[in-house]
Structure 1
Amino acid sequence: MDSKKQGVSRREFLKTTGIATGTLIGGGIIGGLVGYNVNKSPGKENKTGNNHQGQNHELNVGLKFFKTMASFNILAQATERILPEDELGPGAIGLGVPYFIDNQLAGAYGMNAKEYMQGPFEDGAVTQGYQSRLTRAEIFDQGIAKLEEEAQSRYQKGFVELEPEQMDEILTAFQKGEVAMMAVTSSFFFTLLRQATLEGAYCDPIYNGNKNMEGWKMKGFPGHQFSYAKEIESKEFVKYEPQSISSMSHS
């Protein structure tokens, strides 16, 4: 299907497949969005891909895992191609997803603290869970370096300098497992990146993603309400403003 002729945006695709409403998170569906043409209005499309997260961030948010802004900006642009901004709301960068991933990689998630990480290491089935000898932190480090390497090899430019379609081409190659990586497949890295992007878009804002609860607002999720007792028997539909754990009253 020609998405330009149909006028279908990525965010509309997310809505119609149920991903934006939280009904489909696992699997490989959002991976199919890479390479999916975006029909944005003039002035919204970032043609150079240079929407650098590091140049406009909250004062109370800093990097915990990434040692350079160059690597962080590659991550930011990759997540934005997976969940781009459009007329329905902010994309991954606007939602703070890169900071969420950075913070997670610096903690138990990045160290695989809850996984069994001893050998033997074999190529397992998709139902067998985590199989790599590398931690997530090591996989992200290698994957981001490979994104830059592919950009330089294919276009003689840095990843963040590429056109959106060129970024999509590279990410699609990762999704299909066509890029050589050590001790892990590029498709596995892409799966981690895609899942972390979704988690950052819909997490509680205390984890530095879902900025201003915009992810929840887009899908009508109320967040963490103290109680529904007053409205539980109401015959009328009750709409709640989303609330973060950090904003709940403990009095």
Structure 2
Amino acid sequence: MADGKQPQDTSRRSFLKNSGIAIGGLIVGGVVGGALGGGQKTTQKEEVEKVVEKTVDYNQALMYFNQEQFQITEAAAERIYPKDDLGPGAKDLGVAYYIDHQLASPWGMNAKEYMQGPFFPDAPANLGMQSPLRRHEIFSIGLKGLADYCQQKYSKKFQELSEEEQDAVLKVFEEGKEFKLVGTTTSAFFKLLRSATIEGVYSDPMYGGNKDMQGWKMRNYPGNQMGYAKDIEKEGLVKYEPKSLHDHMSMGK
């Protein structure tokens, strides 16, 4: 302009400032809805509370399984570690997510293990897995076997069976006699499934299972504490609120 003055931005900046719109469209002034459609008015506090209630656990996302594999694993893990009067079962603890994440990790691919032959089926446990298959491959074969067996015997999916029927199917796989898999055995798959289920119940929540540390709370397990020096001389049992590895990530900032 000729006089050197800058024009005032009254079209956008002033509107945002005066109306109280939050970036992202979360809150419009102190009231949402009333000015935009004549509906019921909602305060900023109420809108924020709604957002908090809908917070998503992004740790619960599939990394290896497809939906069918996940549903079978979730149902099978629940029968191995079922919900009861003492606390939640594998499903509520997010165990199937833990297993999924582990299978997608180097553990699922046996990345740090010697995987060359010869393999000895009757070798002692300290020699590790005696199979050319990776863990994620054993899981995929085993889950397909579960699905095939259930269709043959019940004409249903595993997750559609009653709890008693699911237990019977898992018992068949544990014993490893009635149904055969190609490349591995049902008993090897069941052993891996059971072990991974228990790990998911009691692992640190950062890895996908033990949701809200409920597995630890049922056992009065303190989790990942920074130290016990302040309580070491106290008499009797000292009960701690459990802590996850995540609880220490912001310390020192």
Could you say if the C-alpha distance between residues 241 and 188 of structure 1 is closer, same or farther in structure 2, counting changes exceeding 3 Å? same
Higher relative contact order (CA 8 A, sep 6+): 1
Could you say if the C-alpha distance between residues 246 and 240 of structure 1 is closer, same or farther in structure 2, counting changes exceeding 3 Å? same
Aligned to 1:221: 221
Corresponding position: 1:181 with 2:181: yes
Runs of 4+ in 1 over 4 A off after TM superposition: none
SS at match of 1:240: coil
SS at match of 1:109: coil
- Give unmatched runs, 5+ long, in structure 1: 1-56
Match of 1:97 among 95, 105, 119: 95
CA distance in 2, matches of 1:194, 1:101: 11
CA distance in 2, matches of 1:217, 1:184: 36
- Report percent identity of matched pairs: 50
Aligned to 1:73: 71
**Counterparts of 1:175-214 in structure 2 under 5 Å?**
175-178=174-177, 179-214=179-214
**Counterparts of 1:97-176 in structure 2 under 5 Å?**
97-127=95-125, 128-176=127-175
Post-superposition offset of 1:212:
0.3
**Counterparts of 1:16-95 in structure 2 under 5 Å?**
58-66=57-65, 68-95=66-93
TM-score (norm 2): 0.74
Is the Cα contact below 8 Å between 2:98 and 2:209 reproduced in 1?
A: yes
Is the Cα contact below 8 Å between 2:203 and 2:209 reproduced in 1?
A: yes
CA distance in 2, matches of 1:165, 1:129: 33
| Cα RMSD (Å) | 1.3
Post-superposition offset of 1:233:
0.8
Aligned residues: 194
Which has the larger Rg? 2
Post-superposition offset of 1:125:
3.0
- Which amino acid is the alignment partner of residue 81 of structure 1? R
Could you say if the C-alpha distance between residues 130 and 146 of structure 1 is closer, same or farther in structure 2, counting changes exceeding 3 Å? same
CA distance in 2, matches of 1:126, 1:218: 34
**CA deviations over 1:161-206 (Å, ceiling 9, x no partner):** 1011111111101100122112221111100000000000000000
CA distance in 1, matches of 2:215, 2:167: 23
